[in-house]
């Protein structure tokens, strides 16, 4: 698994994390997330005694008790009670992970704890803003997270994989977005000018409009996307660059998505979508989220099938096109960060 370790990985939507210890998996490591007096704590999900999962344990006054033979852990990972034994060996300690809640997600830092810096959490700040009406969901993949990242880094597939569900037409395959490198990610900008905006699940227009979409893909696999519909002529007025969102006539929407490698051939995909209150309501949010869920199942079917072929291929090689610029750039950034981690070890 060639993924960056010094990065924040999404393990849960913040409001779906139960009070009880919750099992999760990142980069093949079992992790339990729990709360000690309201504070988030993340442990390796493996009791030091006989390796039972601590996620089957229970919280007791800010501590976590393994419910196999009763070892009690305080939030720094140290065992503070072994029922029936006075002596507690110094090695009775589990690994802990930096964990935090931000932008509606729970994030776990998988690398050197000394380097955990919350400023490296990608800015999914639309989700903190009450001006946006947000919905969220998730699904699991039997495929490498890398393949899901690559799917989200090349939207030309939308014209084919989602031809029916999103009714996207050929725009995505025929328009090549601008691709801009960032320190830990890639930014795409795209105008579709002077065409009717008609998607099955969205409000259709028959008159031509200009549609702006900007999306960023951040390490380790966080997509942040913003889209808005403008009167015709706006793309030219802003010289095909970022417009003033206050001039949008409809469809001011925001999406944040996260791909977390759970194991070598497994990933968990979190996706959220929000519409600005001035342009939609809860019913619209629910309709769109349901449509996106159907569309993302189409990605899952294709990517898992791709994985099965890859697994049958002794030395897989690919043949990138102009649409792969973002994929190539992002994979290069990941490789450089990973090599840097390995040489600094
Ligand atoms: S496995 Fe946890 S106390 Fe025995
Ligand atoms: Fe897709």
pLDDT digits (tens, 9 = 90+) for 58-94: 999 999 999 999 999 999 999 999 999 999 999 999 9
Tell me the CA–centroid distance for residue 330 and ligand 2, in Å. 18
Mutate which of 44, 55, 68, 84 for ligand 1 pocket (most atoms within 8 A of beta carbon): 68
Average pLDDT over residues 294-311: 97
Pairwise CA distance, residues 106 & 37, whole Å: 17
- Indicate the fold that domain 8-120 takes in CATH: Rieske Iron-sulfur Protein (2.102.10)
Q: Is the pLDDT of residue 39 over 80?
A: yes
Average pLDDT over residues 34-49: 96
Q: Is the pLDDT of residue 18 over 90?
A: no
- 125-338 maps to which CATH number? 3.90.380.10
Q: Is the pLDDT of residue 308 over 90?
A: yes
Domain ranges (residues) in the chain: 8-120, 125-338
Neighbour count for residue 287 (Cβ, 10 Å) = 14
Tell me the CA–centroid distance for residue 292 and ligand 2, in Å. 9
Average pLDDT over residues 325-339: 96
Q: Of the ligands numbered here, which is closest to the C-alpha atom of 65?
A: 1
> Which residues does residue 250 pair with via DSSP β-bridges, in sequence order?
229
Ligand 1 site residues, Cβ closer than 6 angstroms: 47, 49-50, 52, 66, 68-71
Average pLDDT over residues 287-291: 92
Q: Whose CA is nearest to atom 1 of ligand 1?
A: 50
Mutate which of 47, 85, 93 for ligand 1 pocket (most atoms within 8 A of beta carbon): 47
Tell me the CA–centroid distance for residue 35 and ligand 2, in Å. 35
Summarised one tens digit per residue, pLDDT across range 173-182 is: 888 899 999 9
Summarised one tens digit per residue, pLDDT across range 123-173 is: 987 777 888 999 999 999 999 999 999 999 999 999 999 988 887 778 788
Say if CB 118 and CB 13 are below 8 A apart: no
Q: Of the ligands numbered here, which is closest to the C-alpha atom of 54?
A: 1
Give the per-residue SS3 of 14-76.
HHHCCCCCEEEEECCEEEEEEEECCEEEEEECCCCCCCCCHHHCEEECCEEECCCCCCEECCC
Pairwise CA distance, residues 44 & 111, whole Å: 13
């Amino acid at each position: 698994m060639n993924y960056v370790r010094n990065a924040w990985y999404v393990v849960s939507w913040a409001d779906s994390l139960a009070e009880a210890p919750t099992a999760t998996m990142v980069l093949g490591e079992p992790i339990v997330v729990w709360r000690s007096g309201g504070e988030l704590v993340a442990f390796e999900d493996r009791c030091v005694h006989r390796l039972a999962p601590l996620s089957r344990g229970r919280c007791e006054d800010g501590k976590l008790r393994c419910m196999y033979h009763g070892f009690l852990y305080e939030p720094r990972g140290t065992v503070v009670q072994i029922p029936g034994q006075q002596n507690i060996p110094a090695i009775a300690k589990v690994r802990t992970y930096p964990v935090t809640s931000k932008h509606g997600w729970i994030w776990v830092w998988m690398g050197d704890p000394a380097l955990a810096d919350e400023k490296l959490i990608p800015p999914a700040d639309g989700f903190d803003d009450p001006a946006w009406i947000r919905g969220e969901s998730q699904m699991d993949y039997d495929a490498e997270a890398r393949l899901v990242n690559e799917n989200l880094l090349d939207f030309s597939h939308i014209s084919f994989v989602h031809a029916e569900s999103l009714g996207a037409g050929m725009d995505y395959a025929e328009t090549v977005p601008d691709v801009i490198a960032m320190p830990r990610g890639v930014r795409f900008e795209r105008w579709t000018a002077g065409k009717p905006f008609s998607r099955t699940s969205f409000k259709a227009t028959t008159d031509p409009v200009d549609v702006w979409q900007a999306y960023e893909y951040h390490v380790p696999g966080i997509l942040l996307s913003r889209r808005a519909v403008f009167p015709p002529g706006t793309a030219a007025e802003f010289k095909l660059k970022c417009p003033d969102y206050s001039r949008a006539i409809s469809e001011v929407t925001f999406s944040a998505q996260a791909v977390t490698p759970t194991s070598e051939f497994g990933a968990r995909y979190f996706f959220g979508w929000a519409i600005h209150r001035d342009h939609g309501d809860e019913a619209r949010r629910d309709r769109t989220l349901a449509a996106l869920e159907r569309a993302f199942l189409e990605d899952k079917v294709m990517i898992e099938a791709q994985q099965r072929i890859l697994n049958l291929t002794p030395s897989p090689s690919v043949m990138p096109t102009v649409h792969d610029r973002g994929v190539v750039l992002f994979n290069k950034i990941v490789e450089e960060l990973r090599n840097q981690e390995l040489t600094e070890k």
